[in-house]
Structure 1
Amino acid sequence: MSFTSSLTLGHLDTRQHEAAAAAVLRVLEAHDLEVELVPADRDGLVAHMQAGRIDLLATAWLPDLDAGLVDPAQMEVLGGVLYRPFLMWAVPAALVIPGLVSIADLHRPEIAAVIDTKIVLPPWLEPHAQRVMTVYELGRSGYRLEVLDAEVAFDRASALLDAAAAAVLPLSQPHALAHGGRLRPLEDPEAALNTRQEARLLLRRGLRASLDPDLMDELEELTLGNPVVSALEHAMRRDGMTADEAAEAWQRGRLTPRA
């Protein structure tokens, strides 16, 4: 039986998803598949999948964060878990503020007096951060959100982390800034943030039968882990690698996942 020789690989147009997609691409190319990458924002991916233009999506964060990407009539969720993302509010690990353990501690007068009350974040995290602000009533202690373009927000967070600044950083894990253990997540006693997710591959309905079973087995067994995805994105942002170069370095054992 002959199997398909080409497919389209979609991913959300962020560095984390690009990094994970590049690792999946290495697996596909090892099976001699010709692959077209399809990066897009969330709405664009949904439109592509509804039109049947994406064969494989890497990755959807399930069951909550990317639930809108899963239309059972269009895509099936593959069994493997590539990594386990989650949202966090963190501070630089090198920052020492006695008593700052959880998000709730941000209200303490001695902490609010020294920490930056302006919290910088990218647009996609705003609804989640608004929930944290509401649940912990952080506005009454003067905290406010500053939503910036994704790349500007990353550069600002990176500079704050490099300086070990007294600042709160809402981020997702995996993340380039999490590489090397330089972040200290704050506890979330009120569970205002989403629980841990599973990063899964989505396959276009009806395509499974046309793919080599050995490839399907490998895709469903593929595991990256949060430290690997963080290391891939770190290599892209700090070392100037393309996603493909970072994935090749990982495959050859030249990337050290440390977070």
Structure 2
Amino acid sequence: MTTTPTLAYRNTPLHAAVAAAVARVLEAYDLEPDYLTGDGPSLAQMMGQGEIDIFATVWLPGEDEKFLSAAVEPLGCLYRPAFAFFVAERADSPLNGLTSVADVAASGAARHLITPESLLSHVRQMVAAYGLTEAGFTIETQPDEQAFSAIAAAVKSGEPVIAPLFSPCHLIHSLPLRPLDDPKKAGGNELEARLLISQAFRETADQDLVDELDELTLGNKVVSALDEAVRHLDMSPDEAAEEWQRGKLLPR
């Protein structure tokens, strides 16, 4: 069996922390993985060429179909990504009674939608489905990290912003945000974040290890907390994963 499997992930704090949590399982079987990171298209190509043993994670169905081939096998469901419009839970917020995107057009929400670049297509679909352009809403696209900072600043200042986000996300852990219902399903359905393992690794791996990877569950709250720990609590992905494993990442 391979003694140093290649464990790949997209180059974001969230994916790095999730990969570190997966590595904890490998280490329990005396496997010390070699980490590999990069952008999605490059990693998908490498996965198809057999250069990656384990990938953490693909979002299926729909988002990451490019990773799938006869050479790989999906495992488990570590968490459930979902796109939504979020609003802040604040005692003085004019949006406290707002529960659905269907009512956003008639609400007192700020008319600019601070939008991370990677979520632009999802926001456009939501805006079109609910007639938000006609209600005066504009899409303010920014690089992801810049948009996250702008959303956080707006929420903390009390501005009644609509925050377009995928859950899990560090902002959902650190800010009092709640998702709005999306009756038209314009933002898409809930996805499954799954591991991919290469067939070559599958053939040589201990069956107990494969079973444990298949059963590994983190959940959205844990992944949001991992993301926050790496971004803002000065933890490395490995340190954050260790806190999770010891049950110290979330309040009991």
TM-score bracket relative to the smaller structure: over 0.9
Matching residue's letter, 2:160? A
Q: Please point out which of 112, 115, 119 is paired with 1:121.
A: 115
Matching residue of 1:92: 88
Gaps of 5+ in 2: none
Note closer, same or farther for the CA distance 1:37–1:98 as it changes in structure 2 (3 Å cut): closer
**Is the CA contact 1:82–1:198 (under 8 Å) kept in the aligned structure 2?**
yes
Instruction: Please report how far the alpha carbon of residue 29 of structure 1 lies from its aligned counterpart in structure 2 after TM superposition.
Output: 1.8
Q: Please point out which of 7, 17, 25 is paired with 2:15.
A: 17
Matching residue of 2:63: 65
Q: Please point out which of 131, 142, 167 is paired with 1:137.
A: 131
Instruction: Please report how far the alpha carbon of residue 14 of structure 1 lies from its aligned counterpart in structure 2 after TM superposition.
Output: 2.1
**Is the CA contact 1:99–1:105 (under 8 Å) kept in the aligned structure 2?**
no
Separation in structure 1 between the aligned mates of residue 148 and residue 204 of structure 2, nearest angstrom:
40
Instruction: Please report how far the alpha carbon of residue 120 of structure 1 lies from its aligned counterpart in structure 2 after TM superposition.
Output: 1.2
Matching residue of 1:77: 74
Matching residue of 1:172: 166
Q: In the TM superposition, what whole-angstrom CA distance separates every residue of 1:161-211 from its partner, at most 9, and x where no partner exists?
A: 323321010001111111167111111111101111111110112321211
Identity of aligned residues (%): 42
Separation in structure 1 between the aligned mates of residue 175 and residue 154 of structure 2, nearest angstrom:
15
Matching residue's letter, 2:147? A
1:185 aligns with 2:176: no
How many correspondences in the alignment? 250
Note closer, same or farther for the CA distance 1:99–1:36 as it changes in structure 2 (3 Å cut): same
Matching residue of 1:43: 41
Q: TM-score, normalised by structure 1?
A: 0.91
**Is the CA contact 1:12–1:40 (under 8 Å) kept in the aligned structure 2?**
yes
Matching residue's letter, 1:166? P
**3-state SS of paired residue (1:138):** coil
Instruction: Please report how far the alpha carbon of residue 215 of structure 1 lies from its aligned counterpart in structure 2 after TM superposition.
Output: 1.1
Gaps of 5+ in 1: none
Separation in structure 2 between the aligned mates of residue 162 and residue 31 of structure 1, nearest angstrom:
44
**Is the CA contact 1:236–1:242 (under 8 Å) kept in the aligned structure 2?**
yes
Note closer, same or farther for the CA distance 1:90–1:257 as it changes in structure 2 (3 Å cut): farther
Separation in structure 2 between the aligned mates of residue 227 and residue 257 of structure 1, nearest angstrom:
11
Separation in structure 1 between the aligned mates of residue 98 and residue 220 of structure 2, nearest angstrom:
25
Q: Please point out which of 26, 29, 34 is paired with 1:28.
A: 26
Matching residue of 1:220: 214
Of 221-230 and 206-215, more deviation after overlay is shown by 206-215
Q: Please point out which of 230, 238, 242 is paired with 1:236.
A: 230
**Is the CA contact 2:85–2:162 (under 8 Å) kept in the aligned structure 1?**
yes
Separation in structure 2 between the aligned mates of residue 206 and residue 244 of structure 1, nearest angstrom:
26
Instruction: Please report how far the alpha carbon of residue 99 of structure 1 lies from its aligned counterpart in structure 2 after TM superposition.
Output: 4.3
**3-state SS of paired residue (1:20):** helix
Instruction: Please report how far the alpha carbon of residue 67 of structure 1 lies from its aligned counterpart in structure 2 after TM superposition.
Output: 2.0
Matching residue of 1:211: 205
